[in-house]
Structure 1
């Protein structure tokens, strides 16, 4: 396959029948005192199981809102939203919460740890809420996987920023999610610490065979993914292959 043919195939949608994510003409309009605000303006996207997707675009383009839609945190005004085996438009709030705990892992820019809980307890919370009998064992394994086996009993205030984000990553991957979402996960970290988090993120997604959808302002980071989706003004402007895919195609 040539680099040009790889680019053409990357811009095409994955067959919805085999997709873990299918968005069809997704629109989201919010009301404000100045009138309606169109956040998403007709998003069409299919993602294959195990694929790594980088989402880039200017601030205010709708990237984080799109991720919130994928995670069932934000409803849409119209359009089809099928994610990890569920039609999100048909789920009630309690059904969405259970689906999210079982099928989705989310890593935010802010660590979002509970300050009164230890690292181990923070990782256990979503699994306990989902009724997992082995929540503690899985949380311990996840913390060990990100290099924090010796920090289980530490509280967030006793951890560095990088360690807190590793706890957040462990919390996201411990349930072995089908889909892993990350919204600027290195935004609050220095360069070397951020690189460690990214390597762990990609490594855990590969180990679990989880689909990864990553928002970043770093084009070089996005290009580590299989495809790079550029969003502007609530619309997908382009979908291109990542550098690794182009390199393989050129061989």
Structure 2
């Protein structure tokens, strides 16, 4: 069993941030990016994070992914105290628990769609990397494009490959940083539908960073950040919708 894989089904809280602050040094002096974030997210929840440019949204996502270390506070994500892990341990933990989709697709241009999805699995030692990569591409509707290179794909198709790469390891936590920012409205909507569907299929927790309030409102909750602080948390339409009768 992977010691860095997220824990048991009995654990309800997958993200717990307490008093999180992040200060960076610059030539003009210290810059306070995060100014005391307290946030709890339940396993399986979909949470949108919105705020103006420079509010700290992407930095918060980097903290959740273990890509940025905080200056102060407690960061517990997917069963781990991230402050207690060294860089090698963080990499192993991230590989086992986190899938990330960025605004820019970050595909390797010299690799096919299938290779872009399979290589991270191969590096993680998955013996069935190719089969899982094919299955992930099929889930996002690109099984007919697996031999194509990124330059041969549209922007929406490239983001689908990026989504397939993020979900192929079956992560406990799916993070998305402005995933529709480089796409037109219709294509972006299709990507979000796929992302929500994949998160539900895998029972992954989804944290979505976006500047689009309407898009964020599709989540269970919406966290509003301004100047490195949480200003409010509101209910999204997903949680407001009544459950279908069984």
TM-score after normalising by structure 1? 0.91
Work out the CA distance in 2 between the residues paired with 1:218 and 1:101: 29
How far did residue 18 of structure 1 move? 2.8
Alpha-carbon contact 1:101-1:127 (below 8 Å) kept: no
Are 1:224 and 2:202 matched, yes or no?
Answer: no
TM-score after normalising by structure 2? 0.93
Alignment of 1:24-103 (within 5 A): 24-103=18-97
Are 1:123 and 2:117 matched, yes or no?
Answer: yes
Aligned to 2:4: none
Are 1:158 and 2:152 matched, yes or no?
Answer: yes
SS of 1:31's partner is strand
SS of 2:29's partner is coil
Decide whether aligned partners of structure 1 residues 158 and 229 sit closer, same or farther in structure 2, where only a CA change above 3 A counts.
Answer: same
How far did residue 247 of structure 1 move? 4.4
Deviations 1:83-139 (A, max 9, x none): 111111111111111111111000000000011111111111221221111111110
Aligned to 2:127: 133
Aligned to 1:12: none
Aligned to 2:5: none
Q: Aligned residues, how many?
A: 233
How far did residue 234 of structure 1 move? 0.2
SS of 2:181's partner is coil
Deviations 1:52-73 (A, max 9, x none): 0000000000000000000111
Alignment of 1:125-204 (within 5 A): 125-204=119-198
Work out the CA distance in 2 between the residues paired with 1:244 and 1:141: 27
How far did residue 199 of structure 1 move? 0.4
Superposed CA RMSD in Å reads 1.1
5+ residue gaps, structure 2, are 1-10
SS of 2:26's partner is coil
Work out the CA distance in 2 between the residues paired with 1:98 and 1:120: 23
SS of 1:165's partner is helix
Aligned to 1:4: none
